[in-house]
Amino acid sequence: MGRTSQSALPVNARQSLEKLVAARRGADVLEPEVPTQSRFHAMTDFTTLPGYQEIRVQRTAAGTLGIENPYFRTHSTRAAATTVIDGRTYDNFSSYDYLGLNGHPAVPAAAKAAIDQYGTSPSASRVVAGERPIHLDLERKLADHYGQEAAVAFVSGHATNVSTIGALLGPRDLILHDQLAHNSIIMGATLSRAERRSFPHNDLKALDQLLISLRPQFKRVLIVVEGLYSMDGDSPDLAALVAIKRRHGAWLMVDEAHGLGVLGQTGRGIFEHARVDPCDVDIWMGTLSKTLSSCGGYIAGCAALIEFLKCTSGGFVYSVGLPPAMAAAASAALDVLHAEPERVQRLRDNGALFCAVAREHKLDIGFTTGLAVVPVIVYDSLVAVVLSQKMFERGINVQPIIHPAVPERTSRLRFFITSEHTDEQIRRTVKTVAEELREIGDSRAILKRLK
């Protein structure tokens, strides 16, 4: 009888032989451990995530209080000064369409023409699929707008900040940002592995002191601020920031997501508002989803910066290019912004009217400049949520902003003003806020009524 090969043995016998050989060689043989369902249940059940449990607690509490979820409502029309939800028309103050360009005939027409010529997708990253003229046209216009050498468009506004900051800075560098900086700025700083410090909101003396203390310890330093802060509707002192960055040898990055189309007499942004040469800012960032009625983000700056990002930024290199229709829509919207500055003036007038009427009704609107973003601060999260629901019941759509998005004592309703709102809408809305706020009272009064 010939020799039997190991592979011809039954499976159980072969495994036993392998263990015996290993043991004779002095190897430690460990039986494979089969995890039990009960032991690892918490690691595989998504409902055990701490964040999920917090969501469930909030929703249960809201249900007990008879409060509807104010988020994720289904709208059956485009974002505008009015909207339709479940067949009812509402005055809408929850849209970034600051200049009404989402409904301008030139914008969807440009998007449709781009689809006819280029299809709905570039079908790969621009590194792989190559360039399309529509991308280059948009980037040239954005660069010209900021007086810069070049610009690059990303498919996501959030990813623009994350992947730009993540690509530019490293472990030997320092990032200083305003305390109210957007999540995308903080995530970009985290990705970079640079040292990150925040300074109190718009406190440039504190920023200067941080740089005096920390600048010698780091190679490169980036200061990041926003042109118009989306929670408070205020702006930083850009001229002072330019002086600080020069004094300490730092880069200055300005996030103009909410500033473009809003700040400055013709809506060019914070540099026009502050009368500062845009070339004094190293990195201009913005999104295409607010005033420009599209989707995505962009960076404008010197040619070396843009070339570097197009070769190293993960959000550009490893992501599909901006859809042609979105690039065309943004390009057309930028043209309308430049051609029709009267839209900016209407927006400014509407913001001023909202603030004036709010002050007449003794509402707290914080430090807003009255340009597009106006908070009505009600101090208490429960009051903010109940007030939002009462407004909705009266035909006005506005969202509550509560802790942890803002500190608990600064909970608010956040109103986005557009050039398309009417005087009647604004006056009626502010009057309704004041009436309902008096009726609601504070959180103790709300809870007492439920007993």
Cis-peptide into 50, omega within 30 deg: no
Beta strands across the sheet bearing 88-92:
82-85, 88-92, 396-397
What is the pLDDT confidence band of residue 265, given thresholds at 50, 70 and 90? very high
In a domain, 17, yes or no: no
Whether the per-residue pLDDT at 62 is higher than 80: the answer is no
What gap in Å lies between CA 97 and CA 306, rounded to an integer?
A: 28
Q: What is residue 46's predicted lDDT score, i.e. its pLDDT?
A: 87
Q: What is residue 4's predicted lDDT score, i.e. its pLDDT?
A: 39
Same domain for 352 and 307, yes or no, is: no
Please state the domain count of the chain. Answer: 2
Q: What is residue 3's predicted lDDT score, i.e. its pLDDT?
A: 39
Q: For 98-102, what is the mean pLDDT? A: 97
DSSP states along 156-194:
-HHHHHHHHHHHH--TT-EEEEETT--HHHHHHHHHHT-
Q: Residue 209: count other Cβ atoms within 10 Å of its Cβ.
A: 12
Instruction: Give the CATH number for residue 239.
Output: 3.40.640.10
Whether the per-residue pLDDT at 21 is higher than 70: the answer is no
Q: What is residue 451's predicted lDDT score, i.e. its pLDDT?
A: 59
Whether the per-residue pLDDT at 199 is higher than 70: the answer is yes
Note the pLDDT tens digit of each residue in 241-253: 999 999 999 999 9
What is the pLDDT confidence band of residue 33, given thresholds at 50, 70 and 90? low
Angle ∠(117,122,125) on CA atoms, nearest 5: 155
Q: For 283-302, what is the mean pLDDT? A: 98
Whether the per-residue pLDDT at 343 is higher than 50: the answer is yes
Whether the per-residue pLDDT at 341 is higher than 50: the answer is yes
Decide which of 307, 339, 371 is a domain's last residue. Answer: 339
What gap in Å lies between CA 31 and CA 80, rounded to an integer?
A: 65
Same domain for 302 and 183, yes or no, is: yes
In a domain, 268, yes or no: yes
What gap in Å lies between CA 390 and CA 433, rounded to an integer?
A: 9
What gap in Å lies between CA 436 and CA 259, rounded to an integer?
A: 31
Domain that residue 158 falls in: 103-339
What is the pLDDT confidence band of residue 119, given thresholds at 50, 70 and 90? very high
Same domain for 244 and 260, yes or no, is: yes
Same domain for 110 and 71, yes or no, is: no
Structure token pair of residue 239: 């001229």
Decide which of 323, 339, 355 is a domain's last residue. Answer: 339
Coil, strand or helix at 289: coil
Pair 239, 274: CB distance under 8 Å: yes
What gap in Å lies between CA 113 and CA 212, rounded to an integer?
A: 53
Give 413's strand partners. Answer: 376, 400
Pair 347, 290: CB distance under 8 Å: no
Q: Distance of CA 155 to CAs 2, 152, 322, 363, Å?
A: 68, 10, 5, 39
Q: For 196-207, what is the mean pLDDT? A: 98
Same domain for 128 and 109, yes or no, is: yes
Structure token pair of residue 399: 């969202």
* Helix 157-168 × helix 303-312 angle, to 10°: 100
Decide which of 282, 313, 339 is a domain's last residue. Answer: 339
Structure token pair of residue 449: 């009524």
Round to the nearest angstrom and report the end-to-end CA distance of the chain: 91
In a domain, 49, yes or no: no
Pair 306, 151: CB distance under 8 Å: yes
Q: For 332-358, what is the mean pLDDT? A: 98
What gap in Å lies between CA 29 and CA 12, rounded to an integer?
A: 16
Q: What is residue 66's predicted lDDT score, i.e. its pLDDT?
A: 77
In a domain, 15, yes or no: no
What is the pLDDT confidence band of residue 38, given thresholds at 50, 70 and 90? low
Q: What is residue 16's predicted lDDT score, i.e. its pLDDT?
A: 47
What is the pLDDT confidence band of residue 35, given thresholds at 50, 70 and 90? low
Stronger pLDDT, 21 or 196, i.e. the higher one: 196
pTM (predicted TM-score): 0.88
Same domain for 291 and 346, yes or no, is: no
What gap in Å lies between CA 253 and CA 244, rounded to an integer?
A: 13
Whether the per-residue pLDDT at 7 is higher than 70: the answer is no
| Among the ranges given (164-173, 213-222, 252-261, 438-447), the one the predictor scored with the smallest mean pLDDT | 438-447
Candidates 285, 259, 39; CA nearest to 162 is 285
Whether the per-residue pLDDT at 41 is higher than 80: the answer is no
Note the pLDDT tens digit of each residue in 135-153: 999 999 999 999 999 999 9
Candidates 335, 333, 328, 331; CA nearest to 122 is 328
Pair 326, 164: CB distance under 8 Å: no
Sign, CA dihedral 115-117-120-125, equals negative
In a domain, 54, yes or no: no
Q: Residue 183: count other Cβ atoms within 10 Å of its Cβ.
A: 11
Whether the per-residue pLDDT at 128 is higher than 80: the answer is yes
In a domain, 332, yes or no: yes
3-state secondary structure 314-349: HHHHCCCCCCHHHHHHHHHHHHHHHHCCHHHHHHHH
Same domain for 236 and 274, yes or no, is: yes
| Among the ranges given (64-73, 206-215, 260-269, 292-301), the one the predictor scored with the smallest mean pLDDT | 64-73
What gap in Å lies between CA 418 and CA 425, rounded to an integer?
A: 11
Same domain for 240 and 358, yes or no, is: no
What is the pLDDT confidence band of residue 1, given thresholds at 50, 70 and 90? very low
Same domain for 76 and 115, yes or no, is: no
What gap in Å lies between CA 23 and CA 363, rounded to an integer?
A: 80
What gap in Å lies between CA 305 and CA 253, rounded to an integer?
A: 12
Structure token pair of residue 19: 């263990």
Beta strands across the sheet bearing 174-178:
150-154, 297-301, 283-287, 251-255, 221-226, 174-178, 195-199
In a domain, 142, yes or no: yes
Same domain for 324 and 349, yes or no, is: no
Q: For 398-424, what is the mean pLDDT? A: 93
Residue-level length of the chain: 451
Instruction: Give the CATH number for residue 366.
Output: 3.90.1150.10
Same domain for 132 and 216, yes or no, is: yes
Pair 233, 194: CB distance under 8 Å: no
Note the pLDDT tens digit of each residue in 68-92: 888 889 999 999 999 999 999 999 9
Q: In the predicted model, what is the mean pLDDT of the chain?
A: 91
What is the pLDDT confidence band of residue 225, given thresholds at 50, 70 and 90? very high
Same domain for 183 and 224, yes or no, is: yes
In a domain, 128, yes or no: yes
| Among the ranges given (18-27, 67-76, 187-196), the one the predictor scored with the smallest mean pLDDT | 18-27
What is the pLDDT confidence band of residue 10, given thresholds at 50, 70 and 90? very low
